[in-house]
Amino acid sequence: MEYYNYIKALHLIFVITWFAGLFYIPRLFIYHIEAAQKPEPENHILTRQLKLMTKRLWYIITWPSAILASLFAFWLLFINPAWLKMDWMLVKLGFVLLLYLYHGKCHLIFKELQRDVIKWNSNQMRMWNEVSTLILFAVVFLVIVKDAVNWIYGVVGIFLLAGMLMLGIKVYKRLRSKNPEL
């Protein structure tokens, strides 16, 4: 068991880098969507650079981090299978499944944007960007508090957080309409 803390540390490191990728990739999507609306040659130059940045982030950081975070998580569960009998862990694994669904949808959006297929506007993408934040809050609180019975209060809190994030996006949109440099 002397290596347990090393495995746990590696799991946490790759969870952090996975979330970093999931936080940044929608920002790049937003920039790509907005660049597509610019006149030539700015459109072409920005879009080409954003495609390259997105591809590197996705395949060099985000995907490897997701895989490594999961491998270390499975290893931790193998070492301590009793966790699978704990309610908080089962709820956490449900949120991890949601995170993988989010990751999968981001991958589909990534593939579309690489082909110059734009189905989202920048405001929709700003809201989509907050989904990973909500999942992060849920998982961190579950892991720290370890109480799946009261997770309903946490879900209410997450919805309140989502409301605050949406309000923040609307305020930002208003400020940006008055000052496009924001």
- Mean pLDDT over residues 7-34, rounded? 97
Condensed to tens digits (0 to 9), the pLDDT of residues 69-111 reads 999 999 999 999 999 999 889 989 999 999 999 999 999 999 9
What is the model's pLDDT at position 41?
95
Query: Average pLDDT, whole number, for the chain?
Result: 90
Q: Where are the domains of the chain?
A: 4-178
Q: What does the pLDDT look like over 139-156, one tens digit per residue?
A: 888 888 876 556 667 667
pTM over 0.85: no
Q: How many CB atoms lie within 10 A of CB 108?
A: 10
Identify which has the larger pLDDT, 57 or 163.
57
Question: How far is 8 from 18, CA to CA, in rounded Å?
Answer: 15
CA–CA separation, 83 vs 75, rounded Å?
Answer: 12
Q: Residue range 117-145: average pLDDT?
A: 89
Contact 33, 125 (CB under 8 A): yes
Binding positions for heme: 11, 92
1-8: which pairs have CB atoms within 8 A and are 24 or more residues apart? 1/79, 4/76, 4/79, 7/72, 7/75, 7/76, 7/79, 8/72, 8/76
Specify the length of the chain in residues.
Answer: 182
pLDDT of residue 152: 66
CA distance 97 to 137: 15
Give mean pLDDT, residues 153-177: 78
- Residue by residue, DSSP assigns 37-89 as TSPTTHHHHHHHHHHHHHHHIIIIIIHHHHHHHHHHHHHHHHH-GGGGGSHHH
Could you list the residues known to form a binding site, using ranges: 11, 92
